[in-house]
């Protein structure tokens, strides 16, 4: 029994020794790099982008309100045109009734006059005048009755014609207004689409602003602690505030796995990292190089929990980033080494359940892993297209974090 215990103990010590030898604590080096002013300007640029996006949303909302008011006014005009159309139809009906009545009266007068002429009644009526004046008046009376009927009928016919033309105009007006309403509605739909895009970007830029602000404030606090506030300004090198871990080489962030997607164009946009699958959610994710955590945040609708680490590898500065994490164990300002578990693989069913299915761009558990030169705290397409330790083809597998 004692022999077995000793054997297990020796194995454990040997395993620990091998692990330490594979990923020894990183050497530190006061290298040149970014300044506090660079971080402040980065934060201010992202804040300005956020404010511009907020203004775009406000402008779009104002345009929607204006278009909705225009629709209300157009609908009022359509209702008014419909009322005017009904009035025109009523006037035409009334005029037609009047014309019919006058035509009937005219027919009676003409018939009476014909009868009088046939029986010499008209001649007797006219010749029976006691004076020339009365004669003229009698002839004029007959003519006026006839003229009145003709004039009134003509006027009514003209009124009917005008109302018919008005009806045509009102129909055309209604059609034009209805077309305008359709155009206003299309414009509103466009602005709603714009707002959806702005809102989606706002979720990203809000996280970016928060990350950049935290990065600046954390590093400024570290600089003040180490150098004294009177010695800290925009030109202060970050490397003068805290030593930067130096790495001789990269390691892989997962003990094993398989490449499921490459860097490059995909789904209509640029995929800026390798997708590393073959692991269940909750699998530990390690820092691929020792460095300083410069950003950690939760990004919707695509990305989820994210970690950005700033490192100095083989004489050059890099930022390596990790998306779709189920959770992470680090915070901005933390110094990590290659033995540090920074978080855990997410992107699968458990993540969707825990976070309400936020990660709409994932199809299963995996790690989104990429590297870019320089210091970054947000998404970029300016990335290394060949990642150390990985071959560029889907299906590539590995079974060790060590890069030979």
Domain identity same for 180 and 267:
no
107 belongs to a structural domain: yes
300 or 240, which is more confident: 240
- Total domain count, the chain: 2
Pair 141, 133: CB distance under 8 Å:
no
Q: Reply yes or no on whether the pLDDT at 263 is more than 50.
A: yes
- 3-47 per-position pLDDT tens digit: 444 344 434 433 334 343 444 444 433 334 588 999 899 899 989
Structure tokens at 111: 């018939």
| Residues shown for the chain | 404
* CATH code for the domain of 131: 1.10.287.620
Residue whose token pair is 């929990």: 305
Domain identity same for 192 and 272:
no
Structure tokens at 265: 């164009």
Pair 301, 361: CB distance under 8 Å:
yes
Label residue 181 by pLDDT band (50, 70, 90): confident
Query: For position 6, what pLDDT does the model report?
Result: 39
Domain identity same for 249 and 194:
no
Q: Kindly provide the residue ranges of all beta strands, DSSP E only, lying in 14-168, ordered along the sequence.
A: 27-29
Domain identity same for 263 and 187:
no
Mark out the alpha helices in 228-285 (DSSP H runs): 238-241
334 belongs to a structural domain: yes
Domain identity same for 171 and 250:
no
Domain identity same for 189 and 250:
no
Beta-bridge mates of residue 341: 286
Please spell the DSSP secondary structure of 19-56, one letter per residue: HHHHSPPPEEE-----BHHHHHHHHHHHHHHHHHHHHH
Domain identity same for 163 and 259:
no
63 burial type by CB count under 10 A (0-12 exposed, 13-18 middle, 19+ buried): middle
44 belongs to a structural domain: no
255 or 88, which is more confident: 255
Pair 345, 280: CB distance under 8 Å:
yes
Q: What count of other Cβ atoms lies within 10 Å of the Cβ of residue 197?
A: 14
The span from the CA of 220 to the CA of 225, in Å, is: 9
Query: For position 13, what pLDDT does the model report?
Result: 39
In degrees, to the nearest 5, what angle opens at C-alpha 124 toward C-alphas 123 and 125?
A: 90
204 belongs to a structural domain: no
* CATH code for the domain of 249: 2.70.70.10
Spell out a b/e string for 84-93, using b for 16 or more CB atoms within 10 Å of the CB, else e: bbeebeeebe
391 belongs to a structural domain: yes
Domain identity same for 252 and 370:
yes
55 belongs to a structural domain: no
Helix (H) or strand (E) holding 286: strand 284-286
Query: For position 130, what pLDDT does the model report?
Result: 56
Beta-bridge mates of residue 297: 306
The span from the CA of 29 to the CA of 243, in Å, is: 6
Q: What count of other Cβ atoms lies within 10 Å of the Cβ of residue 368?
A: 25
Distance separating the N- and C-terminal Cα atoms of the chain: 39
Instruction: Report the sign of the C-alpha dihedral through residues 149, 150, 156, 157, in that order.
Output: positive
**Cα-flanking dihedrals φ and ψ of residue 373, to 5°?**
-75, 150
- 48-105 per-position pLDDT tens digit: 999 999 999 999 899 999 899 988 988 888 888 888 888 878 887 887 787 777 777 7
Q: How far is CA 252 from the centre of its chain?
A: 36
**What domain range includes position 112?**
60-198
Pair 366, 275: CB distance under 8 Å:
yes
Domain boundary among 167, 198, 229: 198
Domain identity same for 263 and 319:
yes
Domain identity same for 313 and 373:
yes
Longest dimension (CA), the chain: 163
Domain boundary among 198, 233, 262: 198
5 belongs to a structural domain: no
Domain identity same for 283 and 344:
yes
Record the pTM: 0.60
Domain boundary among 164, 179, 198: 198
- 297-332 per-position pLDDT tens digit: 877 667 788 999 999 898 888 999 999 998 899 998
285 belongs to a structural domain: yes
**Cα-flanking dihedrals φ and ψ of residue 321, to 5°?**
-130, 155
82 or 115, which is more confident: 82
3 state DSSP class of 206: helix
Domain identity same for 194 and 304:
no
């Amino acid at each position: 029994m004692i022999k077995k215990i000793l054997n297990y103990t020796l194995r454990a010590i040997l395993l620990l020794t091998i692990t330490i030898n594979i990923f020894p604590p990183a050497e530190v080096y006061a290298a040149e790099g970014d300044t506090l002013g660079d971080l402040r300007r980065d934060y201010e640029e992202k804040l300005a982008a956020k404010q511009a996006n907020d203004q775009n949303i406000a402008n779009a909302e104002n345009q929607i309100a204006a278009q909705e008011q225009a629709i209300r006014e157009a609908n009022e005009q359509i209702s008014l045109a419909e009322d005017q159309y009904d009035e025109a139809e009523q006037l035409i009906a009334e005029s037609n009734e009047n014309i019919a009545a006058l035509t009937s009266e005219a027919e009676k007068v003409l018939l009476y006059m014909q009868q009088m002429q046939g029986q010499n009644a008209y001649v007797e009526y006219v010749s029976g005048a006691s004076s020339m004046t009365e004669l003229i008046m009698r002839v004029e009376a007959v003519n006026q009755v006839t003229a009145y009927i003709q004039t009134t009928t003509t006027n009514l016919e003209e009124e009917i014609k005008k109302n018919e033309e008005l009806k045509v105009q009102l129909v055309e007006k209604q059609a034009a207004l209805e077309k305008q309403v359709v155009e206003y509605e299309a414009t509103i739909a466009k602005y709603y689409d714009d707002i959806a895009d702005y809102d989606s970007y706002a979720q990203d830029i809000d996280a970016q602003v928060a990350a950049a602000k935290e990065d600046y404030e954390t590093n400024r606090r570290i600089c003040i602690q180490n150098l004294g506030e009177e010695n800290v300004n925009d030109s202060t090198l970050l490397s003068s505030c805290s030593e930067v871990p130096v790495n001789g080489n990269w390691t892989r962030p997962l003990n094993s796995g398989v490449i499921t997607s490459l860097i490059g164009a995909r789904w209509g946009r640029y995929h800026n990292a390798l997708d590393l699958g073959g692991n269940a959610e909750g699998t530990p994710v390690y820092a691929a190089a020792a460095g300083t955590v410069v950003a950690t945040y939760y990004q919707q609708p695509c990305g989820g929990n994210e970690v950005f680490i700033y490192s100095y590898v083989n004489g050059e500065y890099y930022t390596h980033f990790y998306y779709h994490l189920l959770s992470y164990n680090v915070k901005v300002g933390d110094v990590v080494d290659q033995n540090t578990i920074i978080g855990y693989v997410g992107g699968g069913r458990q993540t969707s359940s825990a976070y309400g299915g936020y990660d709409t761009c994932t199809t299963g558990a995996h790690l989104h892993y990429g590297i870019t030169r320089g210091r970054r705290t947000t998404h970029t397409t300016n990335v290394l297209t060949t990642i150390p330790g990985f071959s560029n083809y889907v299906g590539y597998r590995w079974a060790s974090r060590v890069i030979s």
